[in-house]
Amino acid sequence: MGSLASFDEVENVFSNNVNPLDPEEFRSQGHMIIDFLADYYQNIQKYPVLSQVEPGYLVKRLPTTAPYVAEPVEAILQDVQQHIIPGITHWQSPNYFAYFPSSGSVAGFLGEMLSTGFNVVGFNWISSPAATELESIVMDWLGQMLDLPRAFLFSGNGGGVLQGTTCEAILCTVTAARDRMLLKVGRDNIGKLVVYASDQTHSALAKAAKIAGIDPKNFRAIKTKKSAAFGLSPESLRHAISIDVKAGLIPLYLCATIGTTSTTAVDPLIPLCDVAKEYGMWVHVDAAYAGSASICPEFRHFIDGVEGADSFSLNAHKWFFTTLDCCCMWVKDPSSLIKSLSTNPEYLRNKASDSKQVVDYKDWQITLSRRFRAMKLWLVLRRYGVANLRNFLRGHVKMAKRFEDLVAGDGRFEVVVPRYFAMVCFRVPPSALPFRNQVGNDETRANEFNRELLETVNAAGRIYMTHAEVDGIYMLRFAVGASLTEDKHVIMAWKVVQETVDAMLNTL
């Protein structure tokens, strides 16, 4: 009886008086979170860049059940500091050089807050006209900044859409290409459709093709060579296609990459699009990382030939100061996407959509519900302007160049592939290793040495890099792109690498 009474009391005190969207509570607690994050950024250099926790660390620290009674934000933030931050790999640290960085920015965070703060579900125009219209406008702005052909812009009867990620952009375009082709050749022929790319193409493509029902046997990852800097050779593409066509298969889709994930290789768009055109294939250009660079006139040439493609995408959440998720995708023929992806249930019908005068972005993507992502891209474009954005990117390229020069200036290292953007692939080559205790061949030994080098560097926590293994060569990737990185961090990173190699060579 006594315990039941106190149970009721708890219900009354802690539940009935709480308004989950109380404006004053939002104000005061919102300020606390901002202060917390500002302090985090002030102190970010003090944390080991790569999280040092062991798997399962958190379950040992947190209660086994959710709290029944509400807890204060102060207590939660204390736990974030104590238990969550140790398990965070600090992507925004100035000493973060791994994968492709996710360049954060104040404008990106503020845009995210506005987007999340309105919390609208903008699936079609009427569900929030501003969300749709702002998206179309910023996509045309960014398209112009990239000097995309007009055919990709709304003003040229194409159009842009903000997807969550490149994986979704690729899946949507493969699906549109598939349906366009099947309309011509008949649904029964889905087993004959073939998707092409280089062996350096992101794994997103193979997954998308599989999801879209392309027979995994009909996925061609065409071999690239170090001598061609791992770019896809148009002759190799033509050769692969001609074998398939002879075998009665149907070429469907080519994914060309500008800035591959392993080494930032660049596929030559002009000749590749020429080949694809002969066969009526859909060409998608995946410029997830490097596409942003094309807002600088001096880097625009990397996407020369994009006019021959059907679709183009880049991740603003990689190297464009916008928070995850924000993949910018343009298509020349939105109707091909819409034919594949549109739905028209009665409960979503409205005059605006029926009039066909508006964009309903639900028909350009996989999901129905969608976030107001345009807000954050708009904030980034407006707060920095083209001039600053170009300078941010140039600064990163310059720092990577600096690192490249440091690597090249030390005879024990080599730069493995040409540096095009802000990422340097390097290693200690076999020739720099003493020939003692030989096991296996020289390349294998070098690979093991470089793997240990990377693990040792990362375990120390001062910097974080990742690796690639291409054509049997294990290399370290040094990717500049975290917004807080300055020259001094690059120089410190190089010192860490050098000192680690000194120590390792001494014990060989």
Binding site for ligand PLP (CB under 6 A): 100, 165-167, 202, 204, 257, 260-261, 286, 288-289, 315, 327
Rg, Å, the chain Cα set: 26
Exposure letters 64-83 (e unless 16+ CB within 10 A, then b): eeeeeeeeeeeeebeeeeee
Output 93 or 313, the one with its CB closest to ligand PLP: 313
Output 260 or 292, the one with its CB closest to ligand PLP: 260
What is the phi/psi pair of residue 180, to 5°?
-60, -45
Output 198 or 233, the one with its CB closest to ligand PLP: 198
CB of 344 to ligand PLP, least distance (A): 28
What is the phi/psi pair of residue 255, to 5°?
-105, 115
CB of 477 to ligand PLP, least distance (A): 12
Output 176 or 204, the one with its CB closest to ligand PLP: 204
CB of 203 to ligand PLP, least distance (A): 8
How buried is 301 (Cβ within 10 angstroms: 0-12 exposed, 13-18 middle, 19+ buried)?
Answer: exposed
CB of 424 to ligand PLP, least distance (A): 16
CB of 316 to ligand PLP, least distance (A): 10
Q: Is 314 helix (H, G, I), strand (E, B) or coil?
A: strand
Tell me the residue nearest to ligand PLP as measured from the CB. 165
CB of 102 to ligand PLP, least distance (A): 10
Q: How far is CA 353 from CA 162, 175, 337, 402, in A?
A: 19, 23, 16, 53
Output 232 or 453, the one with its CB closest to ligand PLP: 232
Output 288 or 381, the one with its CB closest to ligand PLP: 288
Q: Is 301 helix (H, G, I), strand (E, B) or coil?
A: helix
CB of 171 to ligand PLP, least distance (A): 10
**CB 425, CB 455: distance < 8 Å:** no
Output 250 or 255, the one with its CB closest to ligand PLP: 255
CB of 508 to ligand PLP, least distance (A): 35
Query: Side chain identity at 283, as an amino acid letter?
Result: V
Output 167 or 212, the one with its CB closest to ligand PLP: 167
Q: How far is CA 434 from CA 406, 449, 455, 474, 508, in A?
A: 22, 11, 20, 18, 8
| Residue count (the chain) | 508
CB of 155 to ligand PLP, least distance (A): 27
Output 168 or 360, the one with its CB closest to ligand PLP: 168
**CB 287, CB 73: distance < 8 Å:** no
Q: How far is CA 87 from CA 48, 55, 466, in A?
A: 10, 10, 18
CB within 8 Å of 321: residues ≥ 6 apart: 103, 104, 105, 107, 108, 380, 384, 389, 392, 483
Q: What is the DSSP string of 118-154?
A: HT---SSGGG-HHHHHHHHHHHHHHHHHTT--GGGSG
CB of 387 to ligand PLP, least distance (A): 26
CB of 91 to ligand PLP, least distance (A): 13
Q: In the beta sheet, which residues pair with residue 58?
A: none
Output 207 or 300, the one with its CB closest to ligand PLP: 207
CB of 181 to ligand PLP, least distance (A): 23
| Among the listed residues 161, 106, 152, the one whose alpha carbon sits nearest the alpha carbon of residue 379 | 106
Output 47 or 361, the one with its CB closest to ligand PLP: 361
Output 182 or 265, the one with its CB closest to ligand PLP: 265
Composition of the chain by helix, strand, coil, percent to 5: 55, 10, 35
| Among the listed residues 129, 147, 71, the one whose alpha carbon sits nearest the alpha carbon of residue 350 | 129
| Residue carrying the six token digits 């240990």 | 452
